[in-house]
Structure 1
Amino acid sequence: MAPRRIPRTAVSLALAAGLVTLGACSPAGDDSPRGATGRPVPEATFVFANAAAAPTLDPAAVNILETSRIGAQVLEGLVSADPSTGAPAPALATSWERSGDGLTYTFDLREGVRFHDGTELDAAAVCANFERWESLAADGTRTPFATVFRTGTPRADPLYAGCTVESDSSVALSLTAEHTPLLRALTQPSFGIASPTALAAGTHERHPVGTGPFRYASGDGTNVVLDANPDYWGELGDIGTLEFRTIAEPELRYVALRLGQVDGYDQVGLDSFAPLAREGVQVLQRDPYSVSYLGINQDVAPLDDPDVRAAIAAAVDRGAIVREHYPDGTRVANQFLPARFAMDGTDLQVPSYDPQRAQELLAASSYDGEPLRFYYPRNTSRTYMQEPAKIYADIAAQLVRAGFVIEPVPIDWSDGYVAQVLEPGGDHALHLLGFNGGYRDPDYFMAALFGGPDDEFGVDAAALTGAVNRAAALPDGEDRSSAYASINDRVSRLLPAVPLAHPISAVAVDGSVTSFPLSSTGHEEFNRVRLDAAE
């Protein structure tokens, strides 16, 4: 690969001098420190740049990529996702058994595992976590647990019936109804088991304590440092110190990699693909496993008028948006499920780009020129939307040409953008957002978006909610696939949002990395990163 560029300015030289230890180092040798397992503890330092700060270090509280990525290094769940298939694989549970009626899952726990604070992993610790997750969701907070188990969801019966200690090394999880995605859902970092001692102390949001290959050392969601866990039961890998650093601007992430200030970064910007290729830098592309969309809030008049929503969809040139603002390989979306599920609707009704038709629909609608408040995030790159401000500008211009009046509402991502567009009774008429896949099941997308009455889209469709919840209970197979295809059709007729793209996203890593465990979910396991001993 091309050699790293040498910083030329005095400021850059000072930065480089202070950051020389941030590049990847050789894996630990025979004289390295050893943990209780007797294995050498790696000493290399690896710095990875996130595109946004993690609002909390507690992945059970929010469904945000950066929080989940950090949490995945520290906390482990009962099951993990197979890197190739996404199927549940052993983690803190070595095996499990499903009862004949599908209502009880009994897990056999890995023995001899301790949390980073020395607390022993046992069935009581597992149940303490499930009880906490249930309590977090009980007040209607939109947590990952609430979505999976339908806790606090109107017109949906809660699925969680309890967690029972069968023995110190065996725990039973009980449901009120069958739920096919359960084991796959438990692979999310949101279901990482935290030390009950840390939970009792109330430090888990800023200082997570798990059983994972890395343990918390210092920092917060903006810059956090993790150290290799010398007593980890599994594979330690090559990294001794792992730092996640927030660099919001894609151009600055690129510069940081080329100056040697970071060893890898997420969300390669569109303008960086070609320079990185010319310079021989490894750029690793994730398979499309997310959806971006233009949200339409039907609680804001006149967006409750189907003709107005159809006019919005017909006015948006999704093909141009994808060509101009997404990496090659990104697909134009006409539904919310990524193509990998092969559950496409057979009668999709999302209008195609037709500016003349948009004007005709608008003229026949109840729209009377009132300004539509259009929310969009700034200062962030997401797996589903790298250039939100530019996408907003193009979509707003297209809507104005069709006859709409647009009032821009830019909000910094770090100022709680997601919370503002999910706020009950919010005044957002339109907004840009998306959803990145967290586990390999269509319920991940459909339950979060359409599994109940929704403040984001102002949708309260009992039939749609029922269809989503019934589909989740069906066994994998043709009937389940057909159910989700039908849901896609139903959503396209309701048009709560205009799906824009199923995007490609990419990670760039420097020459010290010989193997990077890329994941379509973005929950990469950094103890599986392999470093070149010669670097």
Structure 2
Amino acid sequence: MRKVKQIVALALTAALVITASAGCGSSATSSTGSSGSSASNPNDTLVYAQGAEPRGLDPALVDDGESAKVMSNIYEGLLKYDKDSTKVEPSLAKSWDVTTDGLTYTFHLQEGVKFQDGTDFDADAVKFNIDRQLPPKVTADMGYASFVFGSVKDVQVVDKNTVKINLKAPSTPFLNNLAMVMAAPMVSPKALQANNNNVDQAPVGTGPYKFVKWDKDQDIVLVRNDQYWGTKALTKNVIFKFIKDNSARVVALNNGEADIIDGIDATVVKQITDAGNKIFQAPGMNVNYMAYNTSRKPFNDAKLRTAISQAINVPEMVKSLYQGYSEPATSILPTFMAGYDKSVSQVAYDPTAAAAALKAAGLTSVHMITYTNPRPYNPATGQALAEAIQGYLSKVGVTVKLDSFDWTTYKDKVKAGDYDIAFYGWTGDNGDPDNFMNLLADKDPTMNIALYNNPQFNDLIAKGLVTPAGDARNAIYTQLEKIAAADAVWLPISHAQTLCAYRPNVQDFYYHMTGITPFVGVAKK
């Protein structure tokens, strides 16, 4: 990693970048700032330092929060969320109608909108984006396609500014899904055709910022889209800087070399505020968990999953690791979400019972994998969490072989499935309980890392999708929670508060509960 002092040099020259021949080899858009001379003004550039690099910038091909933060500034969907909730609002669709049977959604599109490559956003573009994620075009690496568009039968172009989406069956969360930053955003069809259906390195949307360049392991540079159809961004340049080390990010903030940082934990809050910087703090819509690989021995046996979970004192561990900025998870669902029921309980701490069961089964060692960086749901890092659990298991006679990886490599290791225990978490995409519980029914191994396959559970997931919002639907998700807890598929650990820090001259920054960081209204004094 280059020294963080280089951030300043990059910030002062970002607006002058014309092509992205450096970095990933992708072609970048032209700088669209009003004047190259403004690059000398540091208030024209926001530097956001995060702990890990995005996996990519094609919304159909990624599923991680680091990618989402960047993409939320480049792309837009038909709908968007309210600033303070997951209530859906118009975006590229200015209005919509739904038939009484819930099977046809007609969207009336904004007129005159252009993609950042100058091509038209219209009904054909909507159809193109959805069709690429439906059979027969959908590909195995489109992890969110079935989640967002699995209920879609087909898409019909009515006219240039009107499109119909027909469903195979009603889907209660469908509108919420269309506001998500994964799968749902609109990508330029021209860019997709020019890049072999993959714009991970050459993103083109309709949003307030345009992609300039990506220097691997260093940063991503965005520049204001001055042809944006909506309210123009206040700040000309945004740089997403990758600083893996937590303490190095804090130093960068306190020295003024970064304007905003994430991935902080309780241990650095005082250091940040003592330097005159501010903390952004809000309830988190997330869960941090440990998952068992239920597809193979030894953890295809629920009794052994239960025994390992009994060995871990979750409340004690959460207090030690997160010091009041996360609460112990008694449920997969956040406590404020529909379907949450306080009567749901996870495996209780009982080291004596754990030791006896593990000894009787002859289980003396497990293979555990984890990630080394902070995550929004786990600011203490996966390494710290895994080592804490390693300590608990040693007390009941179980030795842990622990392998740790950077986030990008870790995602590949999870997909390969060579582990007994792995760590993950989830930040809710849309405020719907299906978004959490469906993880245990998903066929994608990077989503359902427990590789859990329970027909009863899967049938209830399908029932929840078509059941209208209300008490009957909430009861379905409560029942799903109870099944997952009884099977000890995961050990839910904590629900984290959202914690970020920013310089006092940064105005109107917020971190949305879905884990995105829109910068269109953010400015520096």
Q: Counterpart amino acid of 1:144?
A: Y
List per-residue Cα deviations over 1:361-413 (Å, max 9, x = no partner): 3244xx313521111112x1101112211111110111121122321122222
- 1:211 maps to which of 203, 206, 213: 206
Distance 2:451 2:498 in 1: 30
Change (3 A) 1:13 1:457: closer
**1:232-311 → structure 2 map (5 Å cutoff):** 232-311=228-307
Q: Counterpart amino acid of 2:492?
A: P
Q: Counterpart amino acid of 2:34?
A: P
List per-residue Cα deviations over 1:415-439 (Å, max 9, x = no partner): 2x1232233xx23101111111111
Partner of 2:423: 432
Give the 3-state SS of the residue equivalent to 1:341 in structure 2.
coil
The offset of 1:505, in angstroms, is 2.8
Partner of 2:477: 484
Change (3 A) 1:484 1:515: same
The offset of 1:502, in angstroms, is 0.7
Flag structure 1 segments of 5+ consecutive residues without an equivalent. 1-10, 25-31, 35-41, 151-158
- 1:522 maps to which of 502, 515, 519: 515
Partner of 1:144: 144
Distance 2:442 2:336 in 1: 21
Of all paired residues, the percent bearing the same amino acid is 27
Give the 3-state SS of the residue equivalent to 1:422 in structure 2.
helix
Change (3 A) 1:200 1:142: closer
Distance 2:181 2:189 in 1: 17
The offset of 1:137, in angstroms, is 7.6
The 8 Å contact of residues 228 and 239 in structure 1, kept in 2 or not, is answered as: yes
Distance 2:62 2:402 in 1: 27
Distance 1:331 1:400 in 2: 25
TM-score normalised to the size of structure 1? 0.87
Distance 2:442 2:7 in 1: 50
Give the 3-state SS of the residue equivalent to 2:299 in structure 1.
coil
Change (3 A) 1:326 1:173: same
Partner of 1:356: 352
The offset of 1:490, in angstroms, is 1.0
Larger mean Cα displacement after TM superposition, 99-108 or 262-271: 262-271
Change (3 A) 1:169 1:241: same
**1:22-33 → structure 2 map (5 Å cutoff):** 33=34
Partner of 1:91: 91
The 8 Å contact of residues 148 and 178 in structure 2, kept in 1 or not, is answered as: no
Q: Counterpart amino acid of 1:76?
A: E
Distance 2:11 2:222 in 1: 18
Partner of 1:106: 106
Partner of 2:486: 493
The 8 Å contact of residues 331 and 345 in structure 2, kept in 1 or not, is answered as: no
- 1:445 maps to which of 426, 432, 436: 436
Distance 1:401 1:137 in 2: 51
Residue 165 of structure 1 pairs with residue 171 of structure 2: no
Change (3 A) 1:220 1:63: farther
The 8 Å contact of residues 225 and 244 in structure 1, kept in 2 or not, is answered as: yes
Change (3 A) 1:63 1:189: same
**1:15-414 → structure 2 map (5 Å cutoff):** 15=6, 18=9, 21=12, 33=34, 44-134=44-134, 138-141=138-141, 143-150=143-150, 159-190=151-182, 191-202=184-195, 204-220=199-215, 222=217, 223-345=219-341, 347-364=343-360, 367-378=361-372, 380-386=373-379, 387-414=381-408
Change (3 A) 1:122 1:138: closer
The 8 Å contact of residues 56 and 67 in structure 1, kept in 2 or not, is answered as: yes
The offset of 1:522, in angstroms, is 1.8
Larger mean Cα displacement after TM superposition, 52-61 or 302-311: 302-311
The 8 Å contact of residues 130 and 149 in structure 2, kept in 1 or not, is answered as: no
Partner of 1:7: none
Give the 3-state SS of the residue equivalent to 2:132 in structure 1.
helix
Change (3 A) 1:470 1:240: same
Distance 2:209 2:267 in 1: 33
The 8 Å contact of residues 67 and 221 in structure 1, kept in 2 or not, is answered as: no
The offset of 1:14, in angstroms, is 6.9
The 8 Å contact of residues 60 and 142 in structure 2, kept in 1 or not, is answered as: no
List per-residue Cα deviations over 1:119-173 (Å, max 9, x = no partner): 01110011111111225984544511222334xxxxxxxx221111010000111
Q: Counterpart amino acid of 1:111?
A: E
Distance 1:136 1:325 in 2: 46
Q: Counterpart amino acid of 1:260?
A: G
Change (3 A) 1:245 1:163: same
Q: Counterpart amino acid of 1:442?
A: P
Change (3 A) 1:219 1:20: closer
List per-residue Cα deviations over 1:175-199 (Å, max 9, x = no partner): 1000000111111112110111101
The offset of 1:483, in angstroms, is 1.2
The 8 Å contact of residues 517 and 528 in structure 1, kept in 2 or not, is answered as: no
Larger mean Cα displacement after TM superposition, 89-98 or 234-243: 234-243
List per-residue Cα deviations over 1:421-473 (Å, max 9, x = no partner): 233xx231011111111111111111123345866223221010111121122
Distance 2:323 2:60 in 1: 31
The 8 Å contact of residues 447 and 469 in structure 1, kept in 2 or not, is answered as: no
List per-residue Cα deviations over 1:19-68 (Å, max 9, x = no partner): 674999xxxxxxx939xxxxxxx971111112110111112211111111
Change (3 A) 1:14 1:93: closer
Flag structure 2 segments of 5+ consecutive residues without an equivalent. 16-32, 36-41
Partner of 1:28: none
- RMSD after superposition: 2.4
Distance 2:8 2:365 in 1: 53
Distance 1:433 1:112 in 2: 42
The 8 Å contact of residues 131 and 137 in structure 2, kept in 1 or not, is answered as: no
Q: Counterpart amino acid of 2:145?
A: F
The 8 Å contact of residues 109 and 122 in structure 2, kept in 1 or not, is answered as: yes
The offset of 1:15, in angstroms, is 4.7
Change (3 A) 1:453 1:273: closer
Give the 3-state SS of the residue equivalent to 2:348 in structure 1.
coil
Change (3 A) 1:230 1:15: closer
Distance 1:514 1:521 in 2: 20
The 8 Å contact of residues 365 and 401 in structure 2, kept in 1 or not, is answered as: yes
Distance 2:313 2:290 in 1: 12
Distance 1:301 1:349 in 2: 25
The 8 Å contact of residues 84 and 513 in structure 2, kept in 1 or not, is answered as: no
Distance 2:473 2:312 in 1: 32
Q: Counterpart amino acid of 2:404?
A: P
Give the 3-state SS of the residue equivalent to 2:116 in structure 1.
coil
The offset of 1:327, in angstroms, is 4.9
Q: Counterpart amino acid of 1:188?
A: M
Q: Counterpart amino acid of 1:437?
A: G
Q: Counterpart amino acid of 1:337?
A: L
Give the 3-state SS of the residue equivalent to 1:520 in structure 2.
coil
The 8 Å contact of residues 54 and 67 in structure 1, kept in 2 or not, is answered as: yes
